[in-house]
Structure 1
Amino acid sequence: MTSYLCTLAGVSRSGYYNYFSAKSECLRSKRNDNDLEVKDIILKAFNFKKHKKGARQIKMVLKSQYGVVYNLKRIRRLMKKYDIVCPYRKANPYRRMVKATKEHKVLPNVLNRNFKQNTPGKVLLTDITYLFYKNKSKKAYLSTIKDASTNEIMAYNVSDSLTLDIVIDTITNLKKSKSVKFHPEAFIHSDQGSHYTSPKFQKLVKECGFGQSMSRRGNCWDNAPQESFFGHFKDEVNIKQCQTLEDLKNEIDQYMIYYNNYRYQWNLKRMTPVEYRNHLIDSTQYF
């Protein structure tokens, strides 16, 4: 009977008896004890700084923070054994849409980091950033358009949704602006995000009389001034305490007024963005 069952299970008769031998059971017990010790170390790395990690991140944290070196195979085996599951990024629905339709179009980098052209209303930088409020329990998004020459925020839009409307409404708000006269060669510069490669967005930009430029793939330096603004914004605005989306919008409205009109900047000859824009208009005839 034992031989028959071993044949069905695909194991040898000797292997079966060896598995249940006292020596093998002792080895398995020691291995399990060792695995439990290693599991505790892996969990320390897994929860390091209260951010859950995958196997590769765990390997790097173990080496840099605890001086422990394990290979990835061992880490993955123990994560699977003890059901240590790392977070995974959800697929971006807009990227899926891009792949499905293949209508999205990437455009050349016309700007080529020539940000400061001393020409108001010409180089318009745009991007989207995440905003966490209500003690980080709620998330919203901020889309802005910044004049690269003056640092002025010319238009912005706050939304709790990352649909295409967030950038469409930002362009619409830009066209409604009466305080700025646009240069005949004005263009919008962005990254290669699916919002900006969208046919609908590109059509609207063209209808508004703007050109369009895009950063190289994965190169944040090609839109550095816009990234810099988001950094200062998050340092200076207390958005975590906002309880509702309306509170958040009011806080942002107040900051934008302050930033454009009252926040003096050293690299703008110690003027505010609006003052510097008027200074450039008075000193040059660019259209």
Structure 2
Amino acid sequence: MPRTRRAFTDEFKREAVKLVKQPGARVTHIARDLGIEQSVLRRWVSQEHGGVMDMRANKPLRSESASEVERLQRELRRVTTERDILKKAPRLLCKGPAVKYAFIVRHQDVWPTRAMCRAMNVSASGFYEWFGRAASAHSQADARLTRSIRESFELSDRTYGSPRVWHDLKAAGEHCGLNRVARLMKLAKLQARRKRRKLPGDTASRLENHIAPNHLQREFEASQPNQKWVADFTYIWTAEGWLYAAAVMDLYSRRIVGWSMSDTMQARMVSDALLMALWRRGKPAALMHHSDQGSQYTSEEFQQLLKSQNITCSMSRRGECWDNAAMESFFSTLKTERCARTVYQTREQARADVFDYIERFYNPFRKHSKLDYLSPVQFEERQRLMG
């Protein structure tokens, strides 16, 4: 894929600067996660400090949530596990070793043995001697593998099932089978959140739109970047009311190439998402843009934008969500893996979380089954090197 000079919307810059301003944040880590140069991010921060960048373009960006410091994630997971163990047995610390060993036996299917020994301040060798036998080589291997499984599961924000965890372990050099990973995840009670399925619409209402026909025809594959983009928007509830999020996906790599968020549901929002995609990917020579028949996409403002960029407009049939299944799937994944876990107090909190999910997890890291378990960014990079 040819390299083009990247441009970023003010909305992207504000959210990136907001991440840098969080306690414990590091420019190097954030720049790497967002796929941008450190110098670029530092320049944005300097512009914000100097008053050049208008942080008040929408509303003051004041997020109460702070990003986890990446270098402390491993230690945090260990401390969290030990905390959970001690919450289950708060009075055992002052008991003798035999009482602690009995607790460890009863909860071996919940936590790793060595983690419980460490939390209880007893030696693992002492426990195995009390237990009557040393742990078998297979049990020790299972315990070690379970730790790696738990690490992959936690790094995915507890969203990966056994197939994606298995591919994570393979990439790290582990030699194990998918069934073994599934078994150990079940024993450790590590279960990804299940997606909620939608029923198809009424076939009687599947009508072509008078604005544009369905050129895509559910062909959700593309041989090159910037051939087929699909777009949609969704609603995210907060204590302040709805936040509306629009996104544009390149079907070549399933990468979210453009997005925009707004307090109101207007055509400007979907236009901003498309403009971000164009600024990021350059002006494509022959591009199809597919969406549903929402009033935002049929508006004169949006249609004029498509025409000015020589983009072919394609639209789903009315009442047929499967015509835009790839975009529906992304928003379902976003809500299942991130939004459903949090009660957002403000729109800005939700805005920051959606930005974090798209730019710091989904695009650069989330493994996609249709991409041979690579992330969208990894897939594009591999194809670029192969080409």
TM-score for both structures, normalised by structure 2: 0.43
Q: Is the 8 A contact 2:283 2:309 kept in 1?
A: no
Q: Which residue of 2 aligns with 1:224?
A: 325
Q: Which residue of 2 aligns with 1:126?
A: 231
Letter paired with 2:232 = D
Q: Matched residues in 2 for 1:158 and 1:187: separation?
A: 23
Q: Matched residues in 1 for 2:377 and 2:308: separation?
A: 27
Number of equivalenced pairs: 177
Q: Matched residues in 2 for 1:105 and 1:172: separation?
A: 24
Q: In structure 2, do the counterparts of structure 1 residues 279 and 183 end up closer, same or farther at CA, with 3 Å as the change threshold?
A: farther
Q: Partner of 2:302: helix, strand, or coil?
A: helix
Q: Which residue of 2 aligns with 1:175?
A: 278
2:377 is equivalent to residue 280 of structure 1: no
Whichever of the two has the greater Rg, that structure is 1
Q: In structure 2, do the counterparts of structure 1 residues 189 and 121 end up closer, same or farther at CA, with 3 Å as the change threshold?
A: same
Q: 204, 207, 218: which is aligned to 2:305?
A: 204
Q: Partner of 2:339: helix, strand, or coil?
A: coil
Q: In structure 2, do the counterparts of structure 1 residues 222 and 238 end up closer, same or farther at CA, with 3 Å as the change threshold?
A: closer
Identity among equivalent pairs (%): 32
1:238 Cα deviation (Å)? 3.4
Q: 332, 345, 349: which is aligned to 1:243?
A: 345
Q: Matched residues in 2 for 1:171 and 1:181: separation?
A: 11
Q: Matched residues in 1 for 2:272 and 2:284: separation?
A: 21
Q: Is the 8 A contact 1:128 1:142 kept in 2?
A: yes
2:314 is equivalent to residue 213 of structure 1: yes
Q: Which residue of 2 aligns with 1:27?
A: none
Q: In structure 2, do the counterparts of structure 1 residues 282 and 183 end up closer, same or farther at CA, with 3 Å as the change threshold?
A: farther
Q: Matched residues in 2 for 1:266 and 1:108: separation?
A: 30
Q: 363, 366, 372: which is aligned to 1:260?
A: 363
Q: Matched residues in 2 for 1:151 and 1:273: separation?
A: 6
Q: Matched residues in 2 for 1:209 and 1:254: separation?
A: 32
1:172 Cα deviation (Å)? 2.1
Q: Is the 8 A contact 2:222 2:252 kept in 1?
A: yes
2:217 is equivalent to residue 112 of structure 1: yes
What pairs up with 1:1-287 in 2 under 5 angstroms?
Answer: 106-134=211-239, 138-177=241-280, 180-181=281-282, 183-238=284-339, 240-257=342-359, 258-284=361-387
Q: Matched residues in 1 for 2:273 and 2:356: separation?
A: 18
Unaligned runs of 5+ in 2: 1-208
Q: Partner of 2:229: helix, strand, or coil?
A: strand
Q: Matched residues in 1 for 2:329 and 2:354: separation?
A: 17
Q: In structure 2, do the counterparts of structure 1 residues 174 and 278 end up closer, same or farther at CA, with 3 Å as the change threshold?
A: same
Letter paired with 2:273 = T
Q: Is the 8 A contact 1:105 1:197 kept in 2?
A: no
Q: Summarize deviations over 1:96-127 as a string: whole Å, max 9, x none.
A: xxxxxxxx951011111111123211110001
Q: Matched residues in 2 for 1:182 and 1:278: separation?
A: 20
Q: Summarize deviations over 1:137-188 as a string: whole Å, max 9, x none.
A: 62111100011121100111111101211112112222221xx355421121
Q: Is the 8 A contact 2:237 2:344 kept in 1?
A: no
Unaligned runs of 5+ in 1: 1-103
Q: In structure 2, do the counterparts of structure 1 residues 182 and 266 end up closer, same or farther at CA, with 3 Å as the change threshold?
A: farther
Q: Summarize deviations over 1:190-245 as a string: whole Å, max 9, x none.
A: 01111111121111112123221111121111100000001000011136422222
| CA root-mean-square deviation | 1.9
TM-score for both structures, normalised by structure 1: 0.58
1:130 Cα deviation (Å)? 1.0
Q: Is the 8 A contact 1:119 1:280 kept in 2?
A: no
Q: Is the 8 A contact 1:128 1:141 kept in 2?
A: yes
Q: Is the 8 A contact 1:122 1:182 kept in 2?
A: no
Q: Is the 8 A contact 1:153 1:256 kept in 2?
A: yes
Q: Is the 8 A contact 2:242 2:347 kept in 1?
A: no
Q: In structure 2, do the counterparts of structure 1 residues 168 and 181 end up closer, same or farther at CA, with 3 Å as the change threshold?
A: closer
1:253 Cα deviation (Å)? 1.1
After TM superposition, the runs of 4+ consecutive aligned structure 1 residues lying more than 6 A away are none
Q: In structure 2, do the counterparts of structure 1 residues 105 and 171 end up closer, same or farther at CA, with 3 Å as the change threshold?
A: farther
Q: Partner of 1:256: helix, strand, or coil?
A: helix
